[in-house]
Amino acid sequence: MSIASPPATRTTQFAPRLAALLSEHTGKDAFRLEPDTMGVAGHELADRILAARRATETERPTFKPLHGRSIERNEAAAVMRVIGKDVREALERPLVRSVDLTGSWPLTGHLFLRDLILGSDPRRLRILMSRNLELTPKLTWSVIAAGAAIPRRKGARAQSSGIARLFAEAGGYHDRRYAMGIYRRAAAPVCFTVSTLVANALWLGAPFDEGTSNRNLLHEAARLLPPSWNILRYASPEYGALDARIGDRDDVLVLPLLSHRDPALWEDPDAFRPERWDHLDPDTAPGYLPFGHSSERCWGRHMVMPLAELLLDLVRGAGLEVDPAQRRAKVPLVGLLGVEDVRLVKGTAVRRGR
């Protein structure tokens, strides 16, 4: 399935399984996806499922157990405070406004954020930001094991990020390996997810009307192309009690990708209309779950939004646009949903030297 977006010549090409989900189940409440998995797209049922219990440690996207060791909530919260401070400090530093953000997105945005937030970190940590490591978790863990095997030099570089200093403080091989795992888990999503969200917004709507706020652009991009397009909950007795279609052994996949396009909830659901957010509250809009459920929303969202707004400011300020020759962008079937290669070029006004 392909969905045309403005400008009307642009087509978003979903991977076949995503396209099938969209065409067969949008507007439906609950449906069987696999012999042991139910899909849920109805907003009321999704709400009840997600409110029924907290995500367990194996369901959590960021702080699932690392090298077989559970990450307690206190520790997770402490790590989030450290990376949050790194992001705040990066945002407070004077910006090089002349930075060139033309090229392929989300990669270009990813590298910009990596250099902005983690630019002074040691190479063996920065290498953990590579998007290629996404391809196979095994590769990630080999890079981590190799990096942890080299004893570190004494003392952290003064200008390193706080999250890198956690590594600098780690003692032996196992602690270094663990600290590198935490670095990958907590620092990488900042660069990955934000650049993906912004690439999606650019593809869906650029060039944007001058009066449209970055916030509205991001809410609308997260509606049509939600980076966290599914929320998994493993089988639990609570779920059968909520809906008889869900068996005791069924895992449940809540699908914001679908509820975000439910025609019963959204006017002109497939259209990119950032102005709809003038009158909608993203925290309460029924079925809108880009950052999860109100009972426990994403802990990173307060750093995601300002960073994404900064990227949009830079792109809009530099007059960049999606290459007019690019008519299609693919959305592959991966955990983080997004267009894979949006080519950003200097806009016509900039090219003419205006």
What is the closest distance, in whole angstroms, from the C-beta atom of residue 218 to ligand HEM in the complex? 9
311 binds ligand HEM (CB under 6 A): no
Q: Which is nearer to ligand HEM, 336 or 350 (CB)?
A: 336
Among 116, 176, 299, 322, binds ligand HEM (CB under 6 A): 299
Contact 15, 330 (CB under 8 A): yes
Q: Segment contacting ligand HEM (CB under 6 A): 119-127, 164-172, 223-231, 264-272?
A: 223-231
Residue 311 near residue 208, CB atoms below 8 Å: no
Nearest to 80 by CA among 235, 299, 333, 343: 299
Which x/- pattern, by CB under 6 A, does the window 17-56 give for ligand HEM? --------------------------------------x-
Q: Segment 153-212, which members bind ligand HEM (CB under 6 A)? A: 186, 189-190, 193, 197
Does 277 bind ligand HEM (CB under 6 A)? Our answer is: no
Q: Residue 168 Cβ, how far from ligand HEM at the closest point, in Å?
A: 19
Q: How far is CA 245 from CA 27, 37, 201, 255, in A?
A: 17, 11, 36, 16
Contact 299, 185 (CB under 8 A): no
Nearest of 252, 254, 246 to residue 230 by alpha carbon: 254
C-alpha distances out from residue 144 to 41, 67, 125, Å? 38, 11, 9
The interface region with ligand HEM, picked from 119-127, 292-300, 310-318, 325-333 by CB under 6 A, is 292-300
Specify the residue, 63 or 266, whose C-beta has the smaller distance to ligand HEM: 63
Which residue's structure tokens are 């206190």? 74
User: SS3 of 256, please?
Assistant: helix
- Among 38, 49, 83, 182, interactor with ligand HEM by CB under 6 A: 83
Tokens of 290: 């880009």
Least distance from ligand HEM to the Cβ atom of residue 324, Å: 27
Instruction: State the nearest-atom distance from the C-beta of 197 to ligand HEM, in Å.
Output: 4
Among 231, 252, 258, 318, the residue binding ligand HEM under the rule CB under 6 A is 231
- Compare residues 105 and 291 and give the one whose CB is closer to ligand HEM: 291
By CB under 6 A, the count of residues binding ligand HEM is 24
Orientation angle between helical segments 173-205 and 107-118, nearest 10 degrees = 130
Residues 340/141, Cβ–Cβ less than 8 Å: no
As given in the structure block, the two tokens for residue 320 are 């960049």
122 near 161, Cβ under 8 Å? no
As measured in angstroms, the least distance from the Cβ of 137 to ligand HEM is 16
Give least dist CB 157 to ligand HEM, A. Answer: 22
Q: Is 338 in the site for ligand HEM (CB under 6 A)?
A: no
Rank residues 219 and 347 by Cβ distance to ligand HEM and give the closer one. Answer: 219
Could you tell me which of 254, 64, 105, 318 has the C-alpha nearest to residue 194? Answer: 105
Residue 118 vs 347, nearer CB to ligand HEM: 118
The alpha-helical segments, DSSP class H, found in the chain are: 16-25, 43-52, 73-92, 107-118, 123-126, 137-149, 162-168, 173-205, 214-224, 237-242, 256-259, 301-317, 348-351
User: From the CB of 266, what's the least distance to ligand HEM, in Å?
Assistant: 18
Contacting positions for ligand HEM (CB under 6 A):
55, 59-63, 76, 80, 83, 186, 189-190, 193, 197, 227-228, 231, 290-292, 298-300, 304
